[in-house]
Structure 1
Amino acid sequence: MSTKAVEIKCPGCGAMVRFDEGQKRAFCSYCGSPIAVENSSEFITRNIDEADLKRAETDQLIRLKELELQERRERKTEGRKKVMGIASVPLVIILLIAFAVGAAEPSGSPLSDSAYSMGSICLLILGWGWLFILIGNDKK
């Protein structure tokens, strides 16, 4: 359905103010100036398709929601990176101590094997944690 509308230039700020057919007074939505139609030659006539207006509004809302979701994902990823960065420090310290103990002990001793196992577990946890963060970034 299309309606006939006219636009007049606001004397206050120069913005175009929309008047529906038959409307004689309006206020500028930008500066608030009152506008009265005195001369019909001032009109700029346009046919407005309301379905197109609704479609444009809907498209804009969809785009805003998409941007909002993207922002949430980015904040979530940043939070994960922060947590993993903090968790990495003690894991790296344990890893280094475990490999140092394993290297200091004679090969094949129970302490050496346990230390290497603990260091390997820390290394796996670090690797998997950072890998999941990187994979999560690619799913956008």
Structure 2
Amino acid sequence: MSTKAIETKCPGCGAMVRLGAGQKQAFCNYCGSPVTVEDTREFVTRNIDETDLKRAETEQLIRLKELEMQERRERKAEGRKKAMGIASVPLVVVLLIAFAIGAAEPSGSPLSDSAYTAGSVCFLILAWGWLFILMGNDKK
């Protein structure tokens, strides 16, 4: 004995929904949308607030943009650290040579004073650069 079944399209995804004989309501197996049938005509029940759906989509897009911007800031900071690390090598070499010359020369000589000045300038540049990077002073 065969039973009569009604097939109708799901309003949510377009998949075919099968209702058994005498069955007035079913749920789509793919998207879960409820489908109600009366007198072989389709009646669709949708309880989706379009405003809430749009709000959720917008919030998701905003969050994705925030994550993208955060990733960009982190890459910039890494680039600055790498650049400062590379720039630090010659500055440290100059600083060490300057202090070595300053220590080797007699105190008060023009070369000694110039060497100490050059070493101090290198030290200040290094300190300022690393403090800037370590403090995370990056503009958004």
Sort the TM-score into its range (normalised by shorter chain): 0.7 to 0.9
Which residue of the partner structure matches residue 103 of structure 2?
Answer: 103
Which residue of the partner structure matches residue 32 of structure 1?
Answer: none
Which residue of the partner structure matches residue 67 of structure 1?
Answer: 67
Read off the aligned partner of 2:125 and give its amino acid letter.
I
Which residue of the partner structure matches residue 14 of structure 1?
Answer: none
1:82-124 C-alpha deviation (Å, 9 max, x unpaired): 0000000000000000000000001000000000000000000
Which residue of the partner structure matches residue 126 of structure 1?
Answer: 126
TM score, norm. by length of structure 1: 0.72
Read off the aligned partner of 2:25 and give its amino acid letter.
S
**Long gaps (5+) in structure 1:** 1-17, 27-34
4+ runs of 1 displaced by more than 4 Å?
137-140
CA RMSD of aligned residues (A): 2.2
Q: 1:41 aligns with which of 25, 48, 52?
A: 25
- What secondary structure does 1:48 align onto? coil
Read off the aligned partner of 2:17 and give its amino acid letter.
V
Read off the aligned partner of 1:63 and give its amino acid letter.
R
Q: Which has the higher contact order (CA 8 A, sep 6+)?
A: 1
In structure 2, distance between residues paired with 1:102 and 1:110 = 10
- What secondary structure does 2:47 align onto? strand
**Long gaps (5+) in structure 2:** 1-8, 28-32, 35-45
- What secondary structure does 2:10 align onto? strand
8 Å contact 1:77–1:137 — kept in the other structure?
no
8 Å contact 2:101–2:115 — kept in the other structure?
yes
Read off the aligned partner of 2:18 and give its amino acid letter.
E
Q: Percent identity?
A: 74
Which residue of the partner structure matches residue 83 of structure 2?
Answer: 83
Shift, 1:42, TM fit: 2.4
In structure 2, distance between residues paired with 1:112 and 1:122 = 15
Which residue of the partner structure matches residue 4 of structure 2?
Answer: none
Which residue of the partner structure matches residue 8 of structure 1?
Answer: none
Read off the aligned partner of 1:38 and give its amino acid letter.
R
Q: Quick check: which has more Rg, 1 or 2? A: 2
